[in-house]
Homo-oligomer: A and B are copies of this chain.
Amino acid sequence: MSAGWLAIAGLGPGDEALVTPEVSDALAQATDVIGYIPYVARVAPRDGLALHASDNRVELDRATLALELAARGRRVVVVSSGDPGVFAMAAAVFEALEAGDASWRELDIRVLPGITAMLAAAARAGAPLGHDFCAINLSDNLKPRSVVERRVALAAEADFAIAFYNPRSRARPDGLGRVFDVLREVCGDARPVLFARAVTTPEESLRIVALPDARGEMADMRTMVIVGSSRTRVIERVGAPILYTPRWMPEGTP
């Protein structure tokens, strides 16, 4: 085995105070940092560090480059925002690993977790994911829309709180609106919806609306959408309300 290694690291939602020391240490030891342009821009340049920034939708090229560099003995960090294992680069690297050169399987590869967007958004609003929940990626270039809508309906039937990643983009502006339609059909009106945009950054904004009032246009590419379960509650107070889901369910719940 060469002295090279590959770390797939999560930078968290944006605030540098949410980057773990483990990730900071890996970046301090790296010879190469690879990732999507805005994430690589969060890494301070220094002598001896090569920054490889690339555009969106080239995840497999990025993963292959990372494996090749590590195999040549470089110390490589692939950066994702949030957590690299949640709709991010870790799976892409393992896809490339499985399809690629057999010798890559001997590489020293680690995944370094980070604060994923849904947990940062939940923390800013209270604790909407305090009971059972699920996470669904609405990026339908990776998944047929029928699968998305079926999953959403089953998740609502199971009464999960639901966190939606990548809720909206220019290529599919109406997907989120369709999801809200499905949710209104399956679970009625009683659920609160959180739109949490750019959490922990200077552009952060939070908005809570009732499900009947939720519209796709309330989200953009930087928004995390969390739909409460039937048990999720809103505590009104001076300033922002608190959104939370109790830990328990009453006896006699069907």
Contact = CB atoms under 8 A, between A and B. Distances in A.
Given A86-B119, A120-B113, A94 B126 contact: yes
A116 interface: yes
21 contacts: A17-B21, A18-B21, A19-B20, A19-B21, A21-B21, A83-B119, A85-B127, A91-B246, A95-B244, A113-B115, A114-B115, A133-B135, A134-B160, A142-B247, A143-B248, A143-B249, A144-B251, A144-B252, A147-B254, A151-B158, A151-B159
Which of the four size classes fits the interface of chain A?
A: 35 or more
A136 B84 CA distance: 21
Contacts of A123: 83-85, 90, 110-113
A245 B253 CA distance: 33
Interface in A33-58: none
Interface stretch (A176-184, A207-215, A217-225, A231-239): A231-239
Contacts of A88: 130
